[in-house]
Structure 1
């Protein structure tokens, strides 16, 4: 059973998400919060696997709450999926850097919310279809410091190749095909890169690929995995 918390300041949205998720046999909503402060307290108390987190809430917004959940070793295992009204909300970048595992827009299809919870609970990055690449590229100036190759100093040449392809949105299967590797070998490379760079998940690898200059805005045409 995947345990889920819902944080949104609108009771109707909370009720709708609870009804949607509780209807699935493998999902259970363990609590709701209407403020950022309540969301942090809820996660600390219930330790859900996943929290769907609205950005715009009173008493500490969703970004504030995400930063605190990710920074506390006791609650860091909880996966945060940001839910936003705006497809290109620059604040989502701050949430991803803070440790969020991805984001969805509120007008996504119901099946996307169900899938988001399952993907995040499995430890993968949840990337809203068609939106995430546009987000990263649209705010690339704020994402990137001057390219700093030293951040990638511990990676082998092959791992740099793999990271560049992750940054362009390729799946493990596609990376394997491009580099003539098996999908399992590609996955192993990704896991090693995560460990070496201290990244939480694939979303943060994309951010690191941009920040290091390994990937530049406009490079690659497809959206990130999840589309």
Structure 2
């Protein structure tokens, strides 16, 4: 409890790097009204921790031990089982790639790890107050996507309209990888990769494989 007698807000940290968890815990525990109630590194541990003692907010990395986008999958699983939870995504990944996807999955904020460390506390307080915490660039991008989303003549943003797995396949296509190499990298069958490619073409209104490759390369270069 704080000196005023109010209960501290309980924070759960989900990150697969022990040193990162330690640093975050030290930062948060130094705040008079916040405390870290747990630190975990996997999806299963996170689900168990939330079930045992529902935290007031979760600080979550996109990349966990289960995979590079396991954190996004965890957000969806948490919402399905526990309903809305205040979640701040703290990640090394460029926000232009994953911030909108994180919010559409159920997060309330996105902060890159390269930002000043005190921004974590700012983001936590903003979200605990019921507000979204996003950069102005990402907010504008999401607004524009909502405005133009209903127009079939305007191609949707792959980072928004593709599933997590489809986006991973799309990025690898943009990096110049062939289906067999993508399948090996993502530990999937070539047939599954081809199915994803067809779904991606349909969602992005691309005529053929050549259009898909060209658009993917252009998109990846634009995110570099």
Cα distance in 2 for residues equivalent to 1:47 and 1:131: 32
TM-score normalised according to structure 1 size: 0.56
Number of residues paired by the alignment?
143
TM-score normalised according to structure 2 size: 0.57
Q: Does structure 2 conserve the Cα–Cα contact (< 8 Å) formed by 1:87 and 1:135?
A: no
Q: Which has the higher contact order (CA 8 A, sep 6+)?
A: 1
- Counterpart of 1:132 in structure 2 is 138
- The answer for unaligned runs of 5 or more in structure 1 is 149-227
Pick the aligned partner of 2:74 from 60, 65, 69.
65
After superposition, where does 1:206-225 map in structure 2 within 5 Å?
none
Q: Which has the larger helix fraction?
A: 2
Residue 146 (structure 1) aligned with residue 153 (structure 2):
no
Shift of 1:94: 2.5
In angstroms, what is the RMSD of aligned CA positions?
Answer: 2.6
- Counterpart of 1:95 in structure 2 is 102
What secondary structure, in the 3-state scheme, does the structure 2 residue paired with 1:126 have? Answer: coil
Q: Which of 1 and 2 has greater Rg?
A: 2
Q: Does structure 1 conserve the Cα–Cα contact (< 8 Å) formed by 2:16 and 2:64?
A: yes
Cα distance in 2 for residues equivalent to 1:118 and 1:112: 10
Cα distance in 1 for residues equivalent to 2:95 and 2:121: 22
- Counterpart of 1:54 in structure 2 is 61
Shift of 1:131: 4.8
Shift of 1:12: 0.4
What secondary structure, in the 3-state scheme, does the structure 2 residue paired with 1:90 have? Answer: helix
- The answer for unaligned runs of 5 or more in structure 2 is 1-7, 153-224
Cα distance in 1 for residues equivalent to 2:137 and 2:111: 9
Cα distance in 1 for residues equivalent to 2:31 and 2:90: 20
